[in-house]
Amino acid sequence: MMGAGVGNAEQQTVDTSTMSSAASTGSKSDGSEGEEEVVSLASTVERIMKNLRNEISQLRRSLEESRSDNERLQSLTSKQAQEIAENALYIKELEERERLLAENVEELLSEIKETEAEVGRWREACELEVEAGKNEIEERDKVLKDDLVSAAMVAQEAAERSLELATVEHRS
């Protein structure tokens, strides 16, 4: 854009010089004035060439800077693409680990439920055995009590007979 502005300014200078040269040629036919025009035109061309060289140098510097920026950006883009690929791989690894851990958790939860069910069955079996043991103890206690009552009654009857016999013998 800058070069276009410089080129337009030079073009205007050349056009102006050409017009003034044409006007002076028409009004003066003197050779020295023609020489001045040639010198002026040469000076203008020289100035235009100098400005064009400067513009070309500036454009070359800009091009080199742009190339350098482009290389730097390409390098940065390449590094970022590599980091993205590495991060994507790491994310996949983490997702796989998460999936495996979730499976392990599911398995552990299943085992816990099975163990809780088994504990419940054992608890119920133990409670039934305790209840059966209590019933057996109560039954034995009842039998023993009945036996003791029967034995006590037999002993009491025997004692009463012995007493009666002793009383009868004592009277005789």
93-123 pLDDT tens trace: 999 999 999 999 999 999 999 999 999 999 9
In this structure, the number of other CB atoms found within 10 A of the CB of residue 10 comes to 19
Residue 11 inside a domain? The answer is: yes
Residues 6+ apart with CB under 8 A from 21: 37, 40, 41
In this structure, the number of other CB atoms found within 10 A of the CB of residue 40 comes to 14
Statement: residue 13 has pLDDT above 60: no
pLDDT of res. 136: 93
Statement: residue 27 has pLDDT above 60: no
Task: Please tell me the number of Cα atoms within 13 Å of 139 on its side-chain side.
Answer: 6
Q: What pLDDT, in 10s, does the model give residues 50-66? A: 999 999 999 999 999 99
Residue 81 inside a domain? The answer is: yes
Statement: residue 4 has pLDDT above 80: no
Domain total in the chain: 1
Statement: residue 29 has pLDDT above 60: no
Residue 171 inside a domain? The answer is: no
Mean pLDDT of 133-147: 91
pLDDT of res. 30: 65
Residue 169 inside a domain? The answer is: no
Domain that holds residue 80: 2-128
pLDDT of res. 172: 66
Statement: residue 28 has pLDDT above 80: no
Residue 165 inside a domain? The answer is: no
Residue 150 inside a domain? The answer is: no
